[in-house]
Structure 1
């Protein structure tokens, strides 16, 4: 045996012995995800738009200290939505996740900058976060991550429940006002082939802002899937009777292991306040459609050719349709 091979043998020998004895060996690994696209406007107000775009990048590390303790840190690198188009060339980094998780039997507790559970299931079934967020995330009806604590309990294979206490401002904002958001939810797989989730959150001030979400999905032999979601926000921005209703329906059909067809329809509307003639949120009300074909040549590389269109309800606004080529790479 050569000296180099002998050194490697003695380096890995303790880990091999621990594994054989059944003792846990702490392990960690880095990860990264990239979202990019090329898009070209083809109808309405979008005909003069077209560009290659690096939408977002995630860089992080996860570590298992023991069978009970796990930690994750994840940095979100992207362009903020509230800046001018000129500022899109800049990149801003936020901590998307930075938390410790404790697991004991059916119980999980996460503390820190955690991923919220409001639409985690929807993103998993939608499968295409790289080309479009789920409707609650897309229209800022809830944050995908926040500072707080989450308690999760799995009763059995058909039912679980979770309770989250968080700042309520999302992962890109700081809050020191002693006001918290409380969220309770449950996922259940009844009846057969259905997976459903209901979530209610409330953030009390002088007026309470609350959100009720219901989602259900039907899966047929892993060949095709149909899903629907309803989100109702009451007293948006802590303003009495400023309400938003959002609906989303989507489906997918697996042609084979690599190709998949998909389509989605969204609708967002707001109410008309007393004494007014138009909805208070009219400039953001409308419907959207997305449809296309997805190709996954390898497990961690996904791409999709698809069509996006937005139909605003305001008479003085013009919608626009785009052809997109989207790419997701996981490392």
Structure 2
């Protein structure tokens, strides 16, 4: 009996080693370079404009993805764009993440990671090379940051994620407070419908009267619903709030922003699409004031145009972009764009 048990144990151990060896044999490490460029020509029809037209490269992304082992992937991406200091082409580290597929239901990413505040919205909008999604465009959040996140597959229809990040975005380091942004989202997808709720919080010290400081909690909230009625037409709407923040990385007591965005696409064929979008941004009025604190930037934006995709990896669009300001003393913006994206 003892010999039989030893034989069974040895056989089981041999089979486990064989399975591991086979698993390793089935996997071959591999990598792939990638790149993406956003180019445009625009003509400014706004009254009183000084620069009527210009060619621009707004963004250039260069990256590399490497599959280290089964379930393990490393990615790095450089974002070449305008620096606040004045340089038009400064390279920033946009992504430097290690991704671990812990199971079929759990994936963990750490390092300089892509955030989740508007990832589904941006994908559904589909025209990032023309205009950022609402949260990104108006400073409600950053597209990447230092930290860790976990994605969870809850069922066929529901997924969720949770994260801890520095909160300053990928162009800045951690602030002096050393306090992180914490948040989560829940997503539902089924038969053309996608719905999402998102929230995050981050506290920071701000100066108040008397030369003292107080802790202020910045909160970002987002809701999003999109529906693909058919292969031809899709429609989406989102509502967003930023509480106690002039920007996601700039705490400001009682300074709130909120806004809505609606967008749709009609696909004519595999090369032609027609699209449209409407944004509305507003802010609150501070105690003792008569005008909204963000009046100079409040207003409505309209983007509409037609896209042509001649070959895989190339997209171009003729479109109109207008911004109608709430401040009656400021001139509205009115511009015509020819945008181009090419990637590999």
- TM score, norm. by length of structure 2: 0.86
Would the aligned equivalents of 1:286 and 1:312 in 2 still touch at CA under 8 Å? yes
CA distance in 1, matches of 2:109, 2:131: 27
1:70 aligns with 2:79: no
Would the aligned equivalents of 2:62 and 2:78 in 1 still touch at CA under 8 Å? yes
CA distance in 1, matches of 2:186, 2:163: 12
Change over 3 Å in CA distance of 1:63–1:267 after alignment to 2: same
CA distance in 2, matches of 1:20, 1:109: 21
Would the aligned equivalents of 1:45 and 1:319 in 2 still touch at CA under 8 Å? no
CA distance in 2, matches of 1:238, 1:79: 24
Change over 3 Å in CA distance of 1:203–1:20 after alignment to 2: closer
Aligned mate of 1:97, from 95, 98, 106 = 95
Q: Which moved more, 1:46-55 or 1:27-36?
A: 46-55
CA distance in 1, matches of 2:184, 2:146: 16
Task: Give per-residue Cα distances to partners, 1:187-245, cap 9 Å, x unaligned.
Answer: 1025x432011100000231100011000001112210000111111111332221101
Would the aligned equivalents of 2:58 and 2:81 in 1 still touch at CA under 8 Å? yes
CA distance in 1, matches of 2:287, 2:81: 40
Would the aligned equivalents of 1:199 and 1:212 in 2 still touch at CA under 8 Å? yes
Residue in 1 that maps onto 2:229: 220
Would the aligned equivalents of 2:146 and 2:169 in 1 still touch at CA under 8 Å? yes
Residue in 1 that maps onto 2:133: 134
1:182 aligns with 2:188: no
Change over 3 Å in CA distance of 1:109–1:262 after alignment to 2: same
Residue in 1 that maps onto 2:61: 58
Would the aligned equivalents of 1:46 and 1:320 in 2 still touch at CA under 8 Å? no
Residue in 1 that maps onto 2:207: none
Residue in 2 that maps onto 1:12: none
Q: How many residues align?
A: 308
Would the aligned equivalents of 2:46 and 2:331 in 1 still touch at CA under 8 Å? no
Task: Give 3-state SS (helix, strand or coil) of 1:229's partner.
Answer: strand
CA distance in 2, matches of 1:34, 1:21: 37
1:305 aligns with 2:305: no
Task: Give 3-state SS (helix, strand or coil) of 1:282's partner.
Answer: coil
1:37 aligns with 2:35: no
Residue in 2 that maps onto 1:8: none
Residue in 2 that maps onto 1:208: 217
CA distance in 2, matches of 1:305, 1:315: 29
Q: Where do 5+ consecutive residues of structure 2 fail to align?
A: 1-20, 205-214
CA distance in 2, matches of 1:238, 1:23: 51
How far residue 105 of structure 1 moved from its aligned partner, in angstroms, is: 1.5
How far residue 19 of structure 1 moved from its aligned partner, in angstroms, is: 10
Task: Give per-residue Cα distances to partners, 1:60-100, cap 9 Å, x unaligned.
Answer: 100001221001000000112x35xxx45x41110000010
- TM score, norm. by length of structure 1: 0.89
Change over 3 Å in CA distance of 1:170–1:309 after alignment to 2: same
1:262 aligns with 2:260: no
Residue in 2 that maps onto 1:112: 111
Would the aligned equivalents of 2:241 and 2:258 in 1 still touch at CA under 8 Å? yes
Q: Which runs of 4+ in 1 moved over 3 A?
A: 18-22, 45-48
Task: Give 3-state SS (helix, strand or coil) of 2:221's partner.
Answer: strand
Change over 3 Å in CA distance of 1:21–1:112 after alignment to 2: closer
Task: Give 3-state SS (helix, strand or coil) of 1:121's partner.
Answer: helix
How far residue 21 of structure 1 moved from its aligned partner, in angstroms, is: 9.5
CA RMSD of aligned residues (A): 1.8
How far residue 274 of structure 1 moved from its aligned partner, in angstroms, is: 1.2
